[in-house]
Amino acid sequence: MLMSSADRPAKLAYGPNGFRVLSAGHYVTCAVTGEKIPLELLRYWSAERQEPYASAEIATKRLIGQA
């Protein structure tokens, strides 16, 4: 079965001021919650850990070691 890019996760390279699409897709998966984050809504990530987060609260908890 073929998957469209809307059904496929994107692969991104996270930088301090943005991200670069390495493999086309429609979403990434939050590193903490597993929630699908549409690329157009992705606002929080760690360039150091190379992982995306669904919200500022989740990102903060992860970065201070609570998640």
**pLDDT above 70 for 41:** yes
Delimit the domains of the chain by residue range: 11-64
Query: What 3-state class would DSSP assign to 53?
Result: strand
Question: Degrees (nearest 5) of the Cα angle 49, 21, 13?
Answer: 20
Residue pair 46/64 in contact (Cβ under 8 Å)? The answer is no
pTM for this prediction: 0.85
The whole-chain average pLDDT of the chain stands at 92
Q: What is the DSSP letter of 50?
A: T
Mean pLDDT of 34-47: 97
**pLDDT above 90 for 28:** yes
**pLDDT above 90 for 50:** yes
